[in-house]
Amino acid sequence: MTRLRRIFVMPAAILMLVTIAVPAGIIGVYSVLSRGAYGGVELPWTLENYGRLIDPLYGGIFVRSFALAAAATALCVALGFPLALFIARAGARKNLYLSLVILPFWTSFLIRLYAWMFLLRDTGLINTVLQSLGVIREPLPLLYNDGAVLLGLVYGFLPFAVLPIYATLERLDKSLLEAAADLGARPIAVLTRVTVPLCAPGIAAAAILVFVPSLGTYITSDLLGGSKTILIGNLVQNQFTTARDWPFGAAVSIVLMMVAVALMFAVRRRGEELL
């Protein structure tokens, strides 16, 4: 039995090792080397790359990235929970609604972000319509700001919040909800005192699934945030391309990874305490 299990796990384990563990190891090594003159890395070993992160300039980028990721997470959970609840109680239409949630994945995320740019830019659909209706005279600054990035993150990651919450709601023992109503709880109290607490593992999973990729987002902030919104992901990209400072880019990546892993453990611990 254990041998069969080992064989089953092997392909995925090898793939993870080659595509995640090995590159992460290389990044780790790069982060303690020195910068090469034309990109790349050179000896000697140094910890200076990590020291540079203390600079308030980078601190600010970290704080802003965290704030945006936290806001995107909060919004995704706040919007995703009612949607998941709706789907879980939709009876026969459940599968239809679930496929609608997943439908956007059929188109490349990049193309969908470009679509948002066409909607949001000064000469985009929203501004044109509002101007022709006489609601506004000057176009609203909808694109190239934190708000646009937040919108893009929420739009992109909402399905990742809906699905795990839906999964826990779906498994929820219906007799617990009946018991709460039977004991005098109105529908809103049933929701806050039974449904939401029992859904905590799903909400925690949703939060991780949204927060971690939001924190490292690069393409959303690059396209919708313009040059003004630099987040951690863009910082890393810049170091490896224009700035040609691979060791520093690697150091930023490592810190980002550590934070993500630490958060996941913290949330899982809390989740286990709750149940």
**Using CB under 8 A as the criterion, which residues of the chain lie in contact with other proteins when the complex forms?**
173, 175-176, 178-186, 189, 193-194, 197-198, 200, 274-275
Please give the Cα distance from 152 to 131 (Å, whole number).
Answer: 24
CB of 184 to other proteins, least distance (A): 3
- Amino acid letter at 81? F
Q: Please tell me whether residue 39 adopts helix, strand or coil conformation.
A: strand
Shortest distance, position 177 Cβ to other proteins, whole Å:
9
Question: Shortest approach of other proteins to residue 168 CB, angstroms?
Answer: 12
Question: Shortest approach of other proteins to residue 91 CB, angstroms?
Answer: 12
Q: Which is nearer to other proteins, 7 or 92 (CB)?
A: 92
Task: Please state, in angstroms and rounded to a whole number, the distance separating the CA atoms of residues 123 and 180.
Answer: 53
The residue (of 180 and 236) whose beta carbon lies closer to other proteins is 180
* 129 Cβ contact partners less than 8 Å away, ≥ 6 residues apart: none
CA trace torsion 243, 246, 248, 249 (10° rounding):
80
Q: Which helix (H) or strand (E) holds 35?
A: strand 34-35
Q: Rounded to the nearest whole angstrom, what is the least distance from the CB of residue 210 to other proteins in the complex?
A: 24
Closest separation in Å from C-beta 205 to other proteins: 17
Smallest separation, CB 94 to other proteins (Å): 18
Identify the CA nearest to 32 among candidates 261, 249, 242: 249
Rounded to an integer, what distance in angstroms lies between the CA atom of residue 216 and that of residue 222? 12
Q: Which is nearer to other proteins, 180 or 252 (CB)?
A: 180
- Select 159 or 202, whichever has its Cβ closest to other proteins: 202
- Quote the tokens at residue 192: 């806050």
SS3 annotation, 207-245 = HHHHHHHHHCCCHHHHHHCCCCCCCHHHHHHHHHCCCCC
Closest CB 182 distance from other proteins, rounded Å = 5
CB-neighbour burial class of residue 243 (10 A; exposed 0-12, middle 13-18, buried 19+): middle
Residues 11 and 267: their CA atoms lie apart, in Å, by: 29
